[in-house]
Structure 1
Amino acid sequence: MIKNLALVFIGGGLGSICRYLIGKYFSQFKWVDFNLGTLTVNIVGSFLIGLFIGYFLKDESQNQDLYLLTAVGFCGGFTTFSSFSVDQLNLLKNGAYQSFFIYLILSLVLGLTATFLGLLMTKA
């Protein structure tokens, strides 16, 4: 159990660092009201988790340690649905209703599409 927790911890830490760096990079783009960093991380994270799960579903005997490190740890630390929720509430609070709906639709549609594509790419 300790080994499993360590793998999730390491993966989550790496995912969180990547999320932070991507957020910092995209914070320079001010031409939209919503957070491009969070949107990017959620789409990329959705794609990655699709790839990882597709890979592990192909052969369920694959290394459980790698699953814990990547799908559970890294993707769990990398994706930012909680940040997305705060961003959405801030848009509503500021009266940016059009940006609220654009960000919501893009996040849902592109996130689901990216997950499906990741899963599709790993199917034999």
Structure 2
Amino acid sequence: MAIREYLWVSLGGIVGACARYFLSRFTAKITGTSFPWGTLLINITGSFVLGLFLVYTTERVFVDPKWRLLIAIGFCGAYTTFSSYAYESMVYFQQGNWGLFAGNVLANNILCLAAVLGAGALVRSI
């Protein structure tokens, strides 16, 4: 991989990581910290952005590969939070907090899949 490709991934990663940090803090201020709403929101919106971008750029228009490096790998890779989701779910599991554990697992999986499907349907409808 050429150095320019790493730079595209890095640039997207910087923006994605900063967006994740901002949105998680902002969401915690609004909703509190009893449930990881920020992680859920980030995973849903990241799934939507990734689905929108990949369906659009593979089915509607073909773009320079650097855009995939910037958006799909860089931005979405740094923005979405599967590791946070996994950790938060494990904590609920270890605490025996079955309702929050199940809610977090189901919400992240169902809503993120729905976001990708919805983004694909949106792109295909226009």
For the superposition of Structure 1 and Structure 2, which TM-score range results when normalised by the shorter chain? over 0.9
Partners in 2 of 1:111 and 1:18 — Cα distance? 18
Partners in 2 of 1:96 and 1:26 — Cα distance? 22
Q: Residue by residue, what CA displacement relative to the aligned partner does 1:43-89 show, whole Å, maximum 9, x if unpaired?
A: 00000000010111125631111111111110001000001011111
Partners in 2 of 1:77 and 1:118 — Cα distance? 20
SS of structure 1 residue aligned to 2:96: coil
Aligned ranges for residues 1-124 of structure 1 at < 5 Å?
Answer: 1-28=2-29, 29-30=31-32, 33-59=34-60, 61-123=62-124
More helix by share: 2
- The gaps in structure 2 that reach 5 residues or longer are none
CA drift at 1:90: 1.2
Partners in 2 of 1:33 and 1:3 — Cα distance? 42
CA drift at 1:95: 2.2
Identity %: 30
Q: State the TM-score, normalized to the length of structure 1.
A: 0.92
Letter in 1 for 2:89: Q
Q: Residue by residue, what CA displacement relative to the aligned partner does 1:79-104 show, whole Å, maximum 9, x if unpaired?
A: 00001011111112222110110111
SS of structure 1 residue aligned to 2:35: coil
Moved runs in structure 1, 4+ residues, more than 4 A? none
Deviates more, 1:56-65 or 1:81-90: 56-65
Task: Give yes or no for contact 1:34–1:100 (8 Å, CA) kept in 2.
Answer: no
- The gaps in structure 1 that reach 5 residues or longer are none
Q: State the TM-score, normalized to the length of structure 2.
A: 0.91
Taking only aligned residues, the RMSD between alpha carbons, in angstroms, comes to 1.4
Partners in 2 of 1:12 and 1:58 — Cα distance? 25
